[in-house]
Amino acid sequence: MSPKQINVVGAVIDRGGRILCAQRGPNGSLGGMWEFPGGKIENGESPREALIREIDEELRCEVVVGEEVTTTSHEYDFGVVTLTTFWCELVAGTPTLTEHAEVRWLAPTELDQLEWAPADVPAVAIIGSA
């Protein structure tokens, strides 16, 4: 059987040259790993619409979604995640933790200090060399 396909969007939120990094909660898939906030694209949504909705739900703030960073796929034991990341700007609200364990604002060159979800590693490399 072919693996389940999961389409996910992630926000690379830049504030004054620092990037918001979010740590997944300790339980569930990829517990404790770092990611870009976001989530699964729902039926009928564009990737950008999904990202605006997810950031409102997860961080209680509003972003403007800019250019795509990259799209890559990674096969996990639970399925294949195709992750599209976008540069984003915060336009309203202050990021508030609702489901993540922690957020950190890091310079692009510091991102590789964290343990990223495997699907994020190519995006992290692009951002670190941007």
Ligand X SMILES: Nc1nc2c([nH]c(=O)n2[C@H]2C[C@H](O)[C@@H](COP(=O)(O)OP(=O)(O)OP(=O)(O)O)O2)c(=O)[nH]1
Pick between residue 8 and residue 52 the one whose CB is nearest to ligand X.
8
Q: By the 8 A CB rule, do 115 and 34 touch?
A: yes
CA distance 121 to 30: 14
Pick between residue 16 and residue 28 the one whose CB is nearest to ligand X.
28
Vertex 42: Cα angle to 41 and 43 (nearest 5)? 125
Site string for ligand X, 60-79 (x = CB under 6 A): --------------------
Identify the CA nearest to 8 among candidates 44, 58, 54, 67: 54
Contact range with ligand X by CB under 6 A, out of 43-51, 90-98, 101-109, 114-122? 114-122
Pick between residue 5 and residue 109 the one whose CB is nearest to ligand X.
5
> DSSP character for 26?
S
- Decide: is 122 part of the binding site for ligand X (CB under 6 A): no
User: In this chain, which of 12, 13, 23, 39 binds ligand X, going by CB under 6 A?
Assistant: 39
CA distance 39 to 50: 8
Q: Binding residues for ligand X, per CB under 6 A?
A: 6, 8, 10, 28-30, 35-36, 38-40, 81, 83, 117, 119-120
